[in-house]
Amino acid sequence: MIVDRLLERRLVILSGKGGVGKSTVGAALALLAAERGKRTLLVEIDAPLEAARYLEAPASGGKPREVRPGLFTVNLDPRSVMDEYVQRTVRVEMFARRVIESPIYERFFVTAPGLKELMVMGRVMVFEEERERWSRKPKWDFIVVDAPATGHGLSFLKVPLAASLAVPIGPVGANARRILALLRDARRTALVVVAIPEEMAVVEAAWFHDLAVDEVGIECAAMVLNAAHERRFTDAEEAQVLRLTSERAGGRLLREVDLGAALVAARRHIRRRKLTRFYETRLRRALKAPLVSLPFLFAEALGRREIRTLADRLAEA
C-alpha cells in the first residue's frame, strides 16, 4: 500500500502549489504515523498559521512540542535557525552574541543567496540524525516536512546541490553534501507532491516533479490529489439532473428546499466531479508516481474531525 511504503521512510517532504492543502495533508499523514506507534515530528517552515491548529493544539514555535500522543510539531524560522547554528559553531556565548548582533551578519543573512534554505535543510538533517542520549536510537521515527510552495520549495531542494558544487571544501560544503545525500537516499527520504483538481495546481505539480527528479535526483514516492470532488450520484441520477435542469423544472424537492436551487447545486457537483476525474487522469499520465485522492471537505473550518477523515483515507491508500 502507498502509505505503508511512505511510513517505511524516515523523512517525507511535501510540496505543491500554494493553497493546495499541504498543511492538512501533512497533519493527516503525521497523525496516522503517530497512531501507528511512530514518534513523529511535523516540520513547518516559517508558517504564519501552524498546522497544530488543525489538531486543536497550541502553536509550537521553534521547539518541538507534543500536540498529540507521539506527535510533535515545530515551526522553523530561518533567522532563528541561523542564529542557533552560529551559537553552536562559535560556542563562546559572548562572541556568538557579538556576531549575531553585528550589522554585517544581518546583511549577510538577508543577501546571501540560498542561505536561509540551506540552514533550514541543515536543521531538518539534524532532526533526522538526532539520537536518544542513552539508547542511541533515533529520536524521531518519522519526520514530515511541509515545504514551501513549488517555486520556493524547489529552491529548498536545489540549494544543497548548488552549495555542494560551489563550496568544495569547508563545513558549509560538507554539510551541503550530507543534506544532498539524505535527499537522494530513497531508503530514508521520499517526496510527495500535492495538487488539487485545478489547472495551475496540476501544471505546477508536474513541473515540480520533473525538476525534483531530474535536477535534484530525489525520488517522488507519491502524488496526492487533494480536495477531490467524489461521485455522489449514479450515471442515471446525473442524467436525470441534467435533463430536469435543461427543462427548467420547478417546484419543491422538500417543503423547505426549492427544486431549482437543488438542481443548480447538483449540476455544479457533477461538473466538479468530472473536472476532478479529468485532472486525476492528467496527473496519472504525466507522472509515474502512485496517486492518492483525498476528498473535498465541506467544512467552514478544518479541525481534528476533518484531519481524522483525511488520515483514514490515507490509511486506505
CB 10 within 8 A of CB 191: no
Q: How confident is the model at residue 164 (pLDDT cuts 50, 70, 90)?
A: confident
pLDDT in tens, 260-306: 788 888 889 999 999 999 999 999 998 888 999 999 998 888 899 99
CB 107 within 8 A of CB 145: no
What is the model's pLDDT at position 103? 83
pLDDT in tens, 72-125: 999 999 888 888 877 877 776 776 787 788 887 778 777 777 778 888 999 999
CB 152 within 8 A of CB 16: no
Grid coordinates representing 266? 447538483
CATH class entry, domain 2-229+288-316? alpha beta
What is the model's pLDDT at position 148? 84
Interacting residues of 280 by C-beta distance below 8 A, sequence separation 6+: 197, 225, 228, 291, 293
What is the DSSP annotation of 46-68?
S-SS-GGGGGT----TTS-EEEE
What is the model's pLDDT at position 246? 82
Report the distance separating Cα 121 and Cα 155, nearest Å: 11
Using DSSP's 3-state secondary structure scheme, residue 230 falls into coil
Position with higher pLDDT, 249 vs 190: 190
What is the model's pLDDT at position 136? 86
- Please report which helix (H) or strand (E) contains residue 191, including its range: strand 189-195
Q: State yes or no: pLDDT of 310 exceeds 70.
A: yes
What is the model's pLDDT at position 203? 94
Q: Over the chain, what is the mean pLDDT?
A: 88
Q: How many residues does the chain have?
A: 317
- Give the sign of the dihedral formed by CA 151, CA 157, CA 158, CA 163: positive
What is the model's pLDDT at position 163? 83
Look-up of cell digits 540524525: 129
Give the residue-averaged pLDDT of 153-177. Answer: 80
Strands 71-76 and 40-45: parallel
What is the model's pLDDT at position 128? 95
Percent of the chain with pLDDT over 70: 98
Give the residue-averaged pLDDT of 202-218. Answer: 90
In sequence order, the β-bridge partners of residue 16 are 194
Look-up of cell digits 514551501: 148
pLDDT in tens, 231-267: 988 989 888 888 888 877 777 766 677 777 888 888 8
What is the model's pLDDT at position 153? 77
Q: Spell out the domain ranges in the chain.
A: 2-229+288-316
Q: State yes or no: pLDDT of 8 exceeds 90.
A: yes
Strands 257-258 and 252-254: antiparallel
pLDDT in tens, 65-74: 999 999 999 9
pLDDT in tens, 172-184: 778 888 999 999 9
